[in-house]
Structure 1
Amino acid sequence: MTKRGGSAILTTAGNDDCHVILRGGAEPNFDERGIAAAEAEAKRADLPCRLMIDASHGNSRKDPANQQDVVSHVAARVADGERRIFGMMIESHLVEGRQDFADPRTLVYGQSITDGCAGWDATVRMLNGLAEAVEARRGLPFLAG
């Protein structure tokens, strides 16, 4: 549609800065099989394979405690030299879990009212693990802090 509400046919040469987010679905897709499938689709479309892995949602089977396993798996791949993955998404908040928004007076400060989240300490561990993996891929020593 045009700005005036008329129909229009648009084309684009694409955007080299775009990426695919692997969120999982009926099955997780953060493993080599899911990454290879995404790479094959990108090649078919003549696009670069730039992947972001979502540690939550389908990849964690909607259990925030499983995000650590997803992150650990991806971090190991990155440390081994994986180049198709450039980033990760972690569902995180100050307090682990989620809560219902039934009575605002009973809400736990820092806990999600939407999706279940990893807590602060788990998030720090995951981020440090990812930082170590990136530095290993680059051949650098990990400097925490």
Structure 2
Amino acid sequence: MREIYDGAEAYVGVQEVLSKIPFPPSIVEFARHSQDPELMLNDPDRIDEFIDAYLNISFSDEGRFTLMFVILDSFNSILSKDNTSRQYWNTIKMLLKEDGLFFSKLIIYYASVDYGRNLEDAWPIAPYMRSILIELVQRYPEIKDNKKKYNTLFLPEWDYFQ
């Protein structure tokens, strides 16, 4: 399995998710022409369906990554409305930990580490993701050491995650 997911593979992942999970035609069209199509598929009301699809439908690495992006963004939307909702967290955490290195870019992205210790302007999901990131950096120090590969050049606060 590849360690990370990158650029051109996003198109393949989005197409696969769209082919296996039904979305309204307007969302499909918008996602196909969007710069960040994964974010266009976010739907907090369908998070159960997305998690079920992740667990029960076979996806390529690109599809798994895209679907996890959709799940995380949907969970983030739930938290933005109710920051105390942990209903889906245990399942999401388990899935991320099973394949932490593969999902490291998503974990770093949603951990909002560029905000340092200040979570005031970070994603609502950031505290959850930071707990996973701390474990991930301990298990895979190459994430911190190979900043270019893991797209973390912008993170001067890495010392916080040791």
Specify the TM-score bucket, using the shorter chain as the normaliser: 0.3 to 0.5
Q: Please give the TM-score of this superposition, normalised by the length of structure 1.
A: 0.40
TM-score where L is the length of structure 2: 0.37
Bigger share in strand: 1
By relative contact order (CA 8 Å, sep 6+), the higher-ranking structure is 2
Larger radius of gyration: 1
Q: Which one has the bigger helix percentage?
A: 2
